[in-house]
Structure 1
Amino acid sequence: MVSLVIDIGNTFTKLAIFNNRTIAKTVVLEQFNIEMLREHLAAYPVTHSVISSVDADVTAFEALLQQETRYQRFNSTYTAGIKNHYKTPGSLGLDRLAAVIGASAEFPNRNSLVIDAGTCITYDLVDADKNYFGGSISPGLAMRYQAMHTFTQRLPSVNFSGSFNSPYGDDTPSAMQSGVQNGLLFEVSGFIESYKKTADDLQVILCGGDFKFFDTRLKNSIFAPIVKADPYLVLKGLNEVIHYYNA
């Protein structure tokens, strides 16, 4: 089975070609159009496809994929064996659902905490029996910096600094960096510690655009043995949907 997986987000479109469950190609695009889709269909013997998109109009993409492949539009009803206990499944972000599907497939029979570090940071646990009850949503790195500048009169506009590595700041910009970056690390560590108390054999999986910031720092912490970075987790979850419903 050769699958084409497309995840259309607010800023970027992520596309992957899978040969069964092995990634053959990934692309991240700021702009995605029908000609690009035709190029990928011509270059690979795609048999199945799936699109995840909340807001974008994908009518033209769907028409072509329905013509050329066995196509599915991912939505909250496609749980791929996950027992979704979320009280409002229709409002659950599709990236969060795809990520826990991917985590359960990658680490079967294990409690997995997915930390998706994007515009917002989400924390979602799927347990060893494939139960998903919900999670947490928190402002991400860029959002926290922007909020401090936007909602105050005197705090400057400060950006993320990968080189910042101090427990405190000695001027206003570095104090903001300490508050945002150290604060987020404390938050992430706190969530992991909390879940470890109730979920045995915990696996932590990092994904999202800012995953490298957390990966680097958590790999130097007491959590290093249980932390894994997987930037393709959502795409793997979408591919798992194809396999589950086309077995």
Structure 2
Amino acid sequence: MINLVIDFGNTRTKAAIFSENKLLIKEDNADINSIQSLITTHEPTHTIISSVSVSPEKLKAQYGDDAIILNHQLPLPFLLDYKTPQTLGLDRIAAVAGAQYLFPKTNCLVIDAGTCITYDAIDAKGIYHGGAISPGVKMRFKALNTFTANLPLVEHSENTPLVGQTTKECLESGVIYGVIGEINEFIRMYNHKFADLQIIICGGDTKFFENRLKADIFASPELVLTGLNRILLHNV
């Protein structure tokens, strides 16, 4: 069984080909042409799509009526204990499915460090409990620039000083160490609530944060794609 997995995210599109559960190839910055190339080369048996930017009608027209479009009503390999499932982000659903596949029967906290930073908890019984959403790194820098008169728009460097000695360094320090402190505190509180917690981090800023946090963390850049494939297999 060859599966095509597509994730139309907030800032970029990812696509991958799986053979059953094995990831064969992925495109981190996919477009129409690269996705079509995957289809032509691998002739997938099944397709699943998660999209926050393209309507289901357009997706069906592009990829066929047999393509599975992720939504909160689709059968999932875990139970949702969430008051408004219709508002739950598709990337969060997929990431949790990926965590459950990688660490079955385990309490997991999924941290997706992307456009937003999301925190999602699933327990060893396969029940998703919800989590939290906060601004991502770039969003924080942009907010500081947008909502003030004189602060510049900056991007973080690899070696951010704790004690900034220029305005740029102060902005970097405030954002980066603020995020690190936030993530560490969320991990501490979730560890208190859920025993033997496995921490998993994914998203565009994974590489930057994975070695800067106190806890033992499993980095999985392909977690959302893995989760989408897991949901696809649950539905075929």
TM-score category of the 2 structures, normalised to the smaller one: over 0.9
Report what 1:155 is aligned to: 151
Equivalent pair of 2:10/2:115 in contact (CA under 8 Å): no
Q: Deviations over 1:86-122 (max 9, x none)?
A: 1111111100011111111110010110100111100
CA displacement, residues 173-232 of structure 1 (integer Å, 9 cap, x when unaligned)? 1111111001100000000010111111111111111111111212xx3x12xx111011
Q: Is it true that 1:145 corresponds to 2:141 in the alignment? A: yes
1:103 maps to which residue?
Answer: 99
1:121 maps to which of 117, 120, 123: 117
Shift of 1:128: 0.6
User: Residues 175 and 37 (structure 1 numbering): CA distance in 2 closer, same or farther, change over 3 Å?
Assistant: closer
The alpha carbon displacement at 1:239 in A equals 0.3
- Would the aligned equivalents of 2:48 and 2:232 in 1 still touch at CA under 8 Å? yes
1:54 Cα offset (Å):
2.2
Partner of 2:193: 198
| Secondary structure of 1:81 counterpart | coil
Contact preservation (8 Å) 1:101, 1:237: yes
Aligned to 1:217: 212
Counterparts in 2 of 1:60 and 1:89: CA distance versus 1, 3 Å: closer
TM-score scaled by structure 1?
Answer: 0.90
Moved more, 188-197 or 6-15: 6-15
> Offset at 1:172?
1.7
Return the letter of the residue paired with 1:77: Q
| d(CA) in 1 for partners of 2:230, 2:155 | 37
Shift of 1:152: 1.1
Give the gaps of 5 or more residues in structure 1: none
Q: Report what 2:233 is aligned to.
A: 243
2:52 to 45, 51, 54: 54
One-letter identity of the residue aligned with 1:20: E
Letter paired with 1:209: G
State the 1:131 CA deviation: 1.0
How big is each residue's C-alpha offset from its partner over 1:71-98, in whole Å with a ceiling of 9 and x where there is no partner?
A: 2111112252211011111111100011
Identity within the alignment, %: 42
Q: 1:59 Cα deviation (Å)? A: 4.3
Aligned CA distance change for structure 1 residues 78 and 5 (closer, same or farther; 3 Å): same
Structural RMSD (CA):
1.7
1:64 to 1:153, Cα distance in 2 relative to 1, 3 A:
closer
1:116 is paired with a residue whose SS is strand
- Residues 200 and 220, structure 2, Cα contact 8 Å, conserved in 1: yes
1:169 equivalenced with 2:164 (yes/no): yes
1:185 has 2:161 as partner: no
